[in-house]
Amino acid sequence: MLERIREVPGDVLDRAAYHEDFAKHSVGLSGVLWKLERAQTFREPGDSSWEAFIAGDWQRALAILDGEREAIRADAERNAQSGLEIRRLRIVESPISPYLQWEVHSLRMLAEEGFDLRTLDVSQVSDLECDEQLPEVVVIGDRVLYEVRYDAQWKPIGARRIDDVGVIGQTCEEISWLYGTGEPLLQYFDREIAPLPPPAL
């Protein structure tokens, strides 16, 4: 199903509408929220750490991330109290892109504070990518699926909302299976990311 998400009918939402819709469907949520992230580079204007990274100030980018730790810990505690599990699967490629190096530092902090994150080498999804790479997907329980959309420069522009319960169920099963074959993010970080020098842009 993952490789066919783009063919499934859905409602196109701009960025503001996507955030509003996401917030509405997340109210009172328990269970599992899935996120599958595939592309190896994104643009994240407005994120101060990303902007420092793009400006070439690697130490400041990392310091900004670390300054967010207490808020992330509080989010993890709230999720645990409400019975919500956020499980995020990050597809990774080699050579490691500068963006991925920065992002995995961010994800490392999430994992250290209690979020469930795993990585999966792109070779393990090659059978699903015969025509094009997998989409970026967020699934809120059994309520709604979003195919997150980006422009040509990989800047977020919104999402397509898919409400088909059969599609949502199949997608959750597939992501869950891939997640089960993945590597804990902290292990990936220690082996592949920690030894790297600051990224060259």
Q: Counting beta carbons within 10 angstroms of the beta carbon of residue 117, is it exposed (0 to 12), middle (13 to 18) or buried (19 or more)?
A: buried
Structure confidence at residue 119 (pLDDT): 98
pTM: 0.94
User: Does residue 138 sit within a domain?
Assistant: yes
Distance CA 83, CA 161 (A): 24
Query: Which residues are bridge partners to 117 per DSSP?
Result: 88
Rg of the chain taking only CA atoms, in angstroms: 17
CA distances to 11, 41, 70, 73 from 51, rounded to whole Å, are 31, 14, 21, 23
Domain contains 62: yes
Q: Which domain covers residue 162, as residue numbers? A: 2-193
Mean pLDDT for back-to-back runs of 10 residues, the chain (201 residues) = 95 97 87 95 95 98 97 94 94 97 97 96 95 95 94 95 96 97 98 96 82
Please report whether residue 200 resides in a domain: no
- Give the span between the Cα atoms of 167 and 83, in whole angstroms: 24
User: What's the structural domain count of the chain?
Assistant: 1
Q: Is residue 88 part of a domain?
A: yes
Cα dihedral 52, 58, 64, 65, rounded to 10, equals 120
Instruction: Report if residue 201 sits inside a domain.
Output: no
Residue 140 in any domain: the answer is yes
Phi, psi of 68 (to 5 degrees): -95, 0
Residue 162 falls within a domain, yes or no? yes
Token pair recorded at residue 9: 């009918």
Question: Residue 39 belongs to a domain with what CATH number?
Answer: 3.30.870.10
115 in any annotated domain: yes
